[in-house]
Amino acid sequence: MNIFQSPFFKKYLLPGFVFQSVVIAGGYGTGRELVEYFLQYGPLGGLLGMFLITTLFWSVFLSVTFEFSRKFKAYDYRSFFKKLLGPFWNIFEIPYFIFLLIVLAVIGSASGVLLRDNFGIPYMGGVLIMLAAVGFLTFKGSGVIERFLSSWSMFLYCVYSVFLVVALIQFGPQIQNNFSQGTIHSQWALGGFKYALYNLGVIPAVFFCLNHIEKRKEALISGAMAGVIGILPAFLFYVAVVSQYPSVLPEEVPAVFILQKAGLPALLIIYQVVLFGTLIETGTGLIHSVNERIRSAFLSRGKQFHRWHRPLVAVVFLLLGVGVASFGLIALISKGYGTISWVFLFVFFIPLMTLGVYRIIKSP
């Protein structure tokens, strides 16, 4: 039987793979985010933040989110937040759109730079290729998106594992030495907390595939697994990045910096292909969440959301993101993500973990 069609896969693994897919490009694809929120607090401090704070936070929150979605059959963020916040549901949409534009800006900028610097394609050419791929996938709809995000995630796990093995072979003593020093700077927990918070913005992109979950036990297990599935590639990546601490701290794209240090051009090319795929993954997942929200609004008014509307929405949002990218990648990540983290705390985390939990318990 096709693994992508098995009930076990759809209930327990698919949500985690989709979550990992939409997290990666804005969360750790370039490696810059791992430096910003973890490594700057020291190799050991970053590791503590990653597992004691981020992973636990994600697993608990995703479990509650999946159960709320299942309980109220809310499979797009418009329906979800109407159930959670009632008439005030749209207070989530404004920060979500801002977050969406920041992530798309990072994706657009990274796509253009990646293909320009490594394959000789003009900057705007790289952006347009990514735009065309996202437009195609959003046009095809949920089924194709589920298969693409899942299969690319599996491929990504393989490449990241190879990345780690190469780093251990090439830089093993440096990695061991940097971890053994036990460097832990203050506020490591805050870094992990902020990283977990700003990535809450991608969770609405997972809603569309939660309709496969039928029972509370499935929702809770799937959510807990999703937190681990989402962070594991980051951990593999982080260990490799630690090899170049502290010289890697100012690098805009630490992944490329480390692979260049390793002197393996073939792996560098493969990684760049994988990275470009992750940019497409994240862009597709986030824009699909907007399409599902618009479709829900159309249906509530008795109107039809046509397939051609989907790539049109993708083009509009990606072009807006390209405009936002002019502020610079590092500034967007450090300032934009940092600010939006606290917004999601008040419009998503606190309401769901209080009012949401109450409604889950009280609902028959």
Amino acid at 217: K
Question: What 3-state class would DSSP assign to 177?
Answer: helix
Tell me the C-alpha distance between 39 and 32, whole Å: 10
Tell me the C-alpha distance between 224 and 63, whole Å: 6
Write down the residue that tokens 């636990």 correspond to: 56
Q: Which domains does the chain have, with CATH numbers?
A: 7-354 (1.20.1740.10)
What does 74-137 look like in DSSP terms, one character per residue?
Answer: --SHHHHHHHHHGGGGGGTHHHHHHHHHHHHHHHHHHHHHHHHHHH---HHHHHHHHHHHHHHH
pTM of the model: 0.89
Convert the pLDDT of each residue in 32-88 to its tens digit. Answer: 889 989 999 999 999 999 999 999 999 999 999 999 999 999 999 999 999 999 999
Structure token pair of residue 73: 């059959």
**Confidence at residue 333, expressed as pLDDT on a 0 to 100 scale:** 57
Angle of CA points 91, 230, 344, to nearest 5°: 15
Is 71 within 8 Å of 352 (Cβ atoms)? no
Tell me the C-alpha distance between 308 and 325, whole Å: 26
Cα separations in angstroms, 230 against 96, 236, 311, 338, 358: 20, 12, 27, 20, 27
272-277-279-281 Cα dihedral, nearest 10 degrees: -160
Number of C-alpha atoms within 13 angstroms, CB side, residue 159? Answer: 21
Residue among 47, 336, 36, 41 at smallest CA distance from 187: 41
Task: Round to the nearest angstrom and report the end-to-end CA distance of the chain.
Answer: 36
Convert the pLDDT of each residue in 110-151 to its tens digit. Answer: 788 778 877 888 888 888 888 888 888 888 888 889 899 889
Convert the pLDDT of each residue in 253-300 to its tens digit. Answer: 788 788 888 887 888 888 888 888 888 888 888 888 888 888 888 888
